[in-house]
Chains A and B, each alone.
Chain A
Amino acid sequence: MSLGLTYDGCNFFRQRLVLSTLSGKRVKIRNIRSKDDNPGLRDFEASFIRLLDKVTNGTRIEINQTGTVLFYQPGLLYGGVVEHECNTQRSVGYYLEALLMLAPFMKNPLKAVLKGVTNDPTDPSVDKLKYTSIPVMKKFGIDGEGLELKVVRRGMAPGGGGEVLFTCPVRKTLRPVQLSEPGKIKRIRGIAYSVRVSPQMANRIVDSARSILNKFIPDIYIYTDHMKGDKSGKSPGFGLTLVAETLNGTFLSAEQVSTPQGQGDPVLPEDLGRNCAKLLLEEIYRGGCIDSANQSLALVYMTLGQQDVSKALLGHLSPYTIEFLRHMRDFFQMMFKIETQKPSEDERKGGDKVLMTCVGAGYTNISKSIK
């Protein structure tokens, strides 16, 4: 067993546990909210650990009595059929972000049914992950019929009551990528959803978002999705996820969701639509071949790819990604070549871009069952 790593505090909790699981290195996290009035792990973190325990075999987890110290020794990524009640303090996206990184490296194809909050203002929604992460996975050779992410029931924060199905095939090795040209945006798609409110809300969102985006491109289609009855979860709410698709298959996305019931001032659907459209423009300004929400996902796949050069052009690195790069150095001794690309004077293509280059670690999924 290789040497373990030690960290302080609960920030970047998932990064540490996911990279520990992938690298096989055990990890110890100390001083988890040790000076907080309510010290130790929260329920959603415990729920996340339970999910990791479900998809692995032989994982050893030790938590001290106050919950301020966690010791995690990863087991084998087992996969298979998993059902999990995701704690509603965080949305399903919080849990899914980690599963997306782990799923291709499991022994058996993963079929996960995750229950909880599908849309909240904190984490990327299941809709956003569906529109952006799945295309990223396909670029690395994780594709086929077995790859699916579906909202079966919608559950808004805070009540939840949603259900999500995620299935993912396993791969022995990942394909290296050369993503240096994002291509021009050819169309904008989106989904305006509403549950337990008037279905008219979704239409009002669509109109206001279109009014801004129409200045750029005529090919816009925003679906309206109004789930009813037992598919509408426990709380009312509405929201919008927009995605811009380029000629080269880059998907840039933005989203905005109504304020959860009882947690602040309600928001008008018109304002929500306009704000979301502006967020999409911001995301286009950042640009690159990978949506800013999927930077870490692409980088982990690049790291674990075959021993070949992978390149990806990203927009500004998010603070979360920068921390992820540091953690990848800790767990995999992997350091990327990072080059800034400034747009020339007369180009109107948004902000600076960053070209990330690495040679894959030659990671092979040895536990993948041969059929």
Chain B
Amino acid sequence: TSKMEEEDEEMEGGELCYESAGALRWKEGLQQKASEAFLRQQRAAPNLRKLVYGTVAEDDGNGEEDEEELGGLFRVSRPEKGKKHRADGVDCSRFDPDAAHNWDLEEMLDSIRDCFVTGKWEDDQD
């Protein structure tokens, strides 16, 4: 039915005077535009809640299953570097800076200018 409606709108636009036909073109495919914009936003802003609380699939702590046995007596212990590193990592709250940020660059310095009272103020707060 949405197609029908779109067509109706076009028709109506056509029936109106010449100038307004162009003015009404923005209404074309509104639904599609909206859904595209929505998807674009979804992609740009990752769902943090999912990232934080989503299924934490990493705790496959049953690595023992793949352990080979030598002569049915010894087990080959191969600590998986990545995983063990996390479980036995250093308990520290330090948040290392983003290595990509070079604070010698003028553009980097510019990116935080308005955080200071000396920077630009919003119109409603001047």
By a beta-carbon cutoff of 8 Å, the part of chain A in contact with chain B is 8-15, 31-33, 35-36, 94, 97, 122-124, 184-186, 212, 215-218, 247, 278-279, 281-282, 284-285, 287, 292-293, 296, 316-320, 322, 325-326, 329, 335-340, 342, 347-350, 354
- Closest Cβ of chain A to B99, distance in Å, is 10
Complex-state Cα separation, A123 to B94, whole angstroms: 7
Q: Are A9 and B111 in contact (CB under 8 A)?
A: no
Residues of B within 8 A of A11 (CB): 86-91
Contact present for B52 and A185 (CB under 8 Å): no
Please report the C-alpha to C-alpha distance between residue A318 and residue B79 in the assembled complex, in whole angstroms.
27
Q: Does the CB pair A35–B79 fall under 8 Å?
A: yes
A342 and B45 form a contact (CB under 8 A): yes
Known: A185-B117, A217-B117. A9 touches B79 (CB 8 A): no
The yes or no answer to B49 lying at the interface (CB within 8 A) is yes
CB-contact partner of B112 in A10, A281, A335, under 8 A: A281
* Shortest beta-carbon distance from A131 to chain B in Å: 15
Indicate if the CB atoms of A124 and B93 lie closer than 8 Å: yes
Among A218, A322, A338, A339, which residue has the most Cβ atoms of chain B within 10 A?
A338
Contact residues in A for B86 (Cβ distance below 8 Å): 9, 11
B6-14, B15-23, B27-35, B53-61: which lies at the interface: B53-61
Chain A hits for B46, CB < 8 A: 340
Bound CA span A70–B115, Å: 46
Q: Contact string, B73-100, partner A, CB cutoff 8 A, digits 1/0? A: 0000101000010111111111101100
Q: Chain B residues near A31: list those with CB within 8 A.
A: 61, 87-88
Chain B's nearest CB lies how many Å from the CB of A281? 5
Which 9 pairs from chain A and chain B are nearest by CB?
A: A9-B87, A318-B95, A278-B103, A11-B89, A282-B97, A338-B48, A348-B114, A35-B79, A184-B117
- Chain B contacts for A10, CB-based, 8 A: 87-89, 91
- The reply to whether A335 and B109 form a contact with Cβ atoms under 8 Å apart is no
**One of B87, B108, B114, B120 near A8 (C-beta < 8 A):** B87
Closest to B109 in A: A215
| Known contacts A281-B109, A285-B101, A285-B111: A340-B48 contact under CB 8 Å | yes
**Which single member of B44, B84, B95, B103 contacts A292 (CB below 8 Å)?**
B95
Name 30 A/B residue pairs within 8 A (Cβ), A-sorted: A8-B61, A9-B87, A9-B88, A11-B86, A11-B90, A11-B91, A31-B87, A35-B79, A35-B84, A123-B93, A184-B117, A184-B121, A185-B116, A186-B117, A215-B109, A216-B113, A217-B116, A247-B117, A281-B108, A281-B109, A282-B103, A320-B94, A322-B52, A326-B53, A329-B53, A338-B52, A348-B114, A349-B112, A349-B114, A350-B112
A340 and B45: CB pair below 8 A?
yes
B119 at the interface (CB under 8 A from A): yes
Q: Is B110 an interface residue (CB 8 A)?
A: yes
Partner of B94, one of A122, A281, A335: A122
Question: Shortest Cβ distance from A123 into chain B, in angstroms?
Answer: 6
In angstroms, Cα B118 to Cα A218, docked, is 9
For residue A184, which residues in chain B have a CB less than 8 angstroms away from its CB?
114-117, 119, 121
For window 58-74 of B, CB contacts with A under 8 Å fall at: 59, 61
